[in-house]
A and B are shown apart, each in its own frame.
Chain A
Amino acid sequence: MAHRSAYRILVCSIAAALCLGLVGCSKEKQRLVVYTAAEADQLPAYEASFQKAHPEIDLVWVRDSTGVVTAKLLAEKKASQADVVFALAATSLIQLDDENMLAAYAPKGAAGRDPRFNDSRTPPHWNGEALWSTAICVNTVEIAKRHVPVPQTWDDLTKPIYRGMITMPDPGSSGTGLLTVSAWLQMWGEAKGWAYMDRLHQNIAQYVHSGSKPCKDAARGEIPIGIAFDFRAAKTKSEGAPIDIVIPKEGVGWDIESSAIIVGSKHRAAAEVFLDWSMSQEAMAIYAKSFAVIAVPKLAAPVLNLPSDLSSRLAKADLRWSARNRMRIITEWTRRYAAAKATAP
């Protein structure tokens, strides 16, 4: 009989757990679905700040790499699941805007915003929060073991001494990958840009899904040189990884993390509240911890391990050109490099 009651207790507790779980899933506050390419380790701070200001709204994050989020939004065009897009590359937002997917809205928020961070129309269709740019993570321990110097320029990376020692993100999935490739094409012209990538390809060990992975792989010494982005490089270094952060002197690619309201959102009021928050002084203070260049220049602060003159090291690049040529660049890049690497052993 004791065993029977043990059975019953088990069955009852499972049933209770399931009921609790179902109740937990179905609790409804105001639910705002936010598509974002912000980094997973940045989201908790954003979420906490927003919840503190607006406890009445629940945020449901859909986070993935820039390319995946953009493709998802385009695919869902007719019946979008998203209410708001947050911290997605402006390049992607311009592409979405060309498909008439973004609603015009001028968020309230901190004064003194740099107009170059916004869509130029009034009211703007998208609003930028912070700028991020390419940065190279170089593992000093592994570089020393191989008796090669730390590369300082883009050109250095194509030297034969670095064969098989470099990773970079796939521009199809990664926003960092795209802005890096796009800057090469714009700085040097298309012919020279592709010729550079052909040479670089000889030294690439792997093309990876995200812009973070190259730096984390470099941190573990797995592949000593990773083409990544500024926030990830600075954070990885401050966590104690033996890496040098290199900002090549020819100039680096950049893009602007931006937000917009999706046309047809059923939670328009909450979406506007979210956009207001994204431009608020509190939000800017959070961005300033990760990014050296933010929408309200006077609120920017030095970021540990990032050069203070980062804004003057950016390549001359036109986001509009990147957006209009995005699909063409990705297709050409995939044809040249992704497919070529898919070889049998």
Chain B
Amino acid sequence: MMARPIFSLTGMITLLFCLAAMVALALPVAVLVAHSVMAPDGSFTIAHYVAYAATPGLLRALSNTALLGGGVVLVVLPLAFIFAFGLERTVLPGKGMLAAAASLPLLVPSLLPALVLIYLFGRQGLLAPLLGGRTIYGFPGILLADAIAALPHAVIILRTALRAADARLYEQATLLGASGWRKFFTITLPGARYGLVSAALVVFALTITDIGAPKVIGDNFDILAIVIYKQVLGQQNFELGAVAAILLMIPSLLAIVIERAAAKRHAAVMSAKTRPLQPLPSPLRDRLVGTVCYGTAAAIVLMLVVCQLVALVCLWPYDLSLTWANYALDRFDGGGWAAVGNSALLAAMTAICGTSFAFAGAYVSERCKAGTFFRGLFSRLALLPAAIPGLALGLAYVLFFNDPANPLRGLYGTVAILLIANVTHYYTVAHLSAVGAVKAIDSELEAAAQMLGRNGLSVLLRVVVPMSAPVLLEIALYLFVNAMTTVSVVMFLYPPGFKLASIAVLAMDDAGDLAAAAAMGMMIFYVNLAVRLTGQWLFAHGHRVVGNRAPTRFVEAAI
């Protein structure tokens, strides 16, 4: 009986969550779609699509985009698979370091690998002679830079896929006399097929929606993301920009829908009887896989070292003396040191607001019994952001929030709109993680606490939240790092008085100040690294406060 008012309150909360999702996501995207098919007088027209097709080069951008996405998948998938295999199925030493190195590209914007590639393989690059007169600009440059940026994502997915192996299958195959290769092709690969599909789709979606690498190293190899950028910022042609954004949204949407379906089927493959596989040493295999793993990890670390070095060099390649001059960031485009502070502030706000919102959303959609319709609606809307490219979301926000008829127009041009855009764009992953955390908590614990006379809110705050702390921290770190590095979400939205570090890297490159761009890119890296390490420290030490206590203690503490 006591719980009753809480349920109706949570019903209201569910409704509020749905409204928020409508304002932050569904309506802006609807407005974006409408703009692409609307004549100035408001009537329906396909004229913008016709104009798009008729503009020279724009159709080519479409095929270029597909070519690039496919190319990056072909490069990343085998590499990420071997890497994940090395971490999960071999006995390589230093796995912790390998895993850490593979995740480093997550901490930098995709602009940074592109910059380093120019310093390494550009016309004056350290390693340019290896290219025999060809240049890295255009397709090969974007391909490599985006491959580096996408690698960690694919490794994470494939590690999960390879971890879920059943030792019994391998034992039986060995008894039947199967060779190592045969086991690999008949058990390992088929077992990881959903992971492979999922990784391929995620890498494809990440690549085609990236703006950083193509902007820096793309030369004249135009892709859809560049078309959106040029049409919107260069010519303020929002209609053609909207058409390009829709064209970019369709494959991303398809990729994510298929990816989710694959993930669901994969989950069904696992059974309770599965016995985890303990990898055994195999000298030849370990040496081959080890070479690839250590080589890749070294390349990633080297990339960051090179980036830091070029940021400290006077004038590459003529004056190699060291200087702090490139760190006088205020002398260059993009907002200077203030931009670093602004980015960190925005990332912290995104982490705090996003984590709270995702957790509350997950709790409401998992635990509340009221408002079934809105709960269902919200858990579907929560999956949508992953399918909307950042550039499309940013453009949708401009069209929606800057409309004179919109009562929320006051938000346009404020820091709040950046916050909303970031939280929305990264919501799906945060939501799914939070749902996992809430599901993992035995609901009888809450029942017990309620029986002991605590109300729902107190149970939430004193039992559920502390028990989910590690997952919440993980979500907060995810949001922070992404908000710090994103270019596409905020590109059209940042207000004049609040410049951002990732955008500054782009502006510095546009002005030709590559060394300063490298310096700014490394500042983003250091901020992210510091936050990530603080997070690790909390994981390690927070356990003593939270993790090791028996769940019942939370209930006791709550009373």
Contact = CB atoms under 8 A, between A and B. Distances in A.
B337 interface: no
B124 A81 contact: no
A72 B220 CA distance: 23
A154 to B, nearest CB: 22
Contacts of B63: 344
Interface string A326-345: 00000000010011111111
Contact of A4 (B221, B497, B545): B545
Interface string A163-178: 0000000001100000
A21 B234 CA distance: 32
A221 B511 contact: no
A33 B496 CA distance: 8
Contacts of A64: 507
B558 to A, nearest CB: 16
A339 B542 CA distance: 57
B222 interface: yes
Contacts of A219: 315
Given A17-B348, A81-B413, A216-B512, A3 B220 contact: no
Contacts of B219: 206, 341
By CB atoms of chain A within 10 A, which of B124, B235, B497 has the most? B235
Interface in A96-144: 141
Contact of A220 (B233, B507, B514): B514
A72 B236 contact: yes
Contact of B330 (A44, A78, A217, A343): A44
Interface string B106-139: 0000000000001000111000000000000111
B318 A242 contact: yes
B70 interface: no
B317 A221 contact: yes
Interface stretch (B20-28, B54-62, B356-364): B54-62
B319 A240 contact: yes
A212 interface: yes
Nearest to B513: A216
Interface string B384-417: 0000000000000000000010000000010100
Contacts of B513: 216
Contacts of B122: 222
Interface string A10-52: 1000100110010001000001010000011100100000000
B478 interface: no
A235 B118 CA distance: 24
Contact of A240 (B315, B330, B348, B498): B315
Interface string B56-83: 1100110110010000000000000000
A7 B539 CA distance: 11
Contact of A3 (B138, B234, B541): B541
B142 to A, nearest CB: 10
B415 A25 contact: yes
A183 interface: no
Given A18-B348, A221-B123, A65 B510 contact: yes
Contact of A221 (B318, B332, B498): B318
A306 B538 CA distance: 58
Nearest to A58: B497
A21 B541 CA distance: 28
A339 B137 CA distance: 17
Interface in A47-99: 60-65, 67-68, 71-72, 74-75, 78-79, 81
A89 to B, nearest CB: 15
B331 interface: yes
Nearest to B123: A222
Contacts of B238: 75
Contacts of B195: none
A304 to B, nearest CB: 18
Interface in B214-235: 219-222, 233-235
A251 interface: no
A81 to B, nearest CB: 7
A241 B318 contact: yes
A7 B332 contact: no
B186 to A, nearest CB: 37
Nearest to A224: B123
Given A21-B345, A223-B123, A172 B511 contact: no
Contact of B333 (A25, A63, A173): A63
B372 to A, nearest CB: 36
Contacts of A221: 123-124, 317-318
B147 to A, nearest CB: 15
Interface string B237-261: 0100000000000000000000000
Nearest to A44: B330
B331 A172 contact: no
B113 to A, nearest CB: 18
A296 interface: no
B334 interface: yes
Given A3-B545, A241-B315, A343-B220, A40 B496 contact: no
B58 to A, nearest CB: 8
B229 to A, nearest CB: 10
B496 A338 contact: no
A72 B319 CA distance: 39
Contacts of B544: 3
Contacts of A81: 413, 496
Contact of B511 (A67, A216, A339): A216
B206 interface: no
The 5 closest A-B pairs by CB, nearest first: A216-B512, A213-B512, A75-B236, A339-B57, A339-B56
Given A3-B545, A340-B56, 12 more contacts: A4-B545, A6-B541, A17-B348, A60-B497, A75-B236, A207-B220, A210-B512, A220-B514, A339-B57, A342-B57, A342-B64, A343-B220
Interface of B: 55-57, 60-61, 63-64, 67, 118, 122-124, 137-140, 219-222, 233-236, 238, 314-319, 330-334, 341, 345, 348-349, 352, 404, 413, 415, 496-498, 507, 510-514, 534, 538, 541-542, 544-545
Interface of A: 3-4, 6-7, 10, 14, 17-18, 21, 25, 31, 33, 39-41, 44, 60-65, 67-68, 71-72, 74-75, 78-79, 81, 141, 172-173, 206-210, 212-217, 219-223, 239-242, 335, 338-345
27 contacts: A3-B541, A14-B348, A18-B348, A21-B341, A21-B345, A25-B497, A39-B511, A40-B331, A40-B511, A60-B496, A61-B496, A68-B234, A71-B233, A79-B404, A81-B413, A172-B235, A207-B220, A210-B511, A213-B510, A217-B512, A220-B316, A222-B124, A338-B220, A342-B220, A342-B221, A344-B67, A345-B221
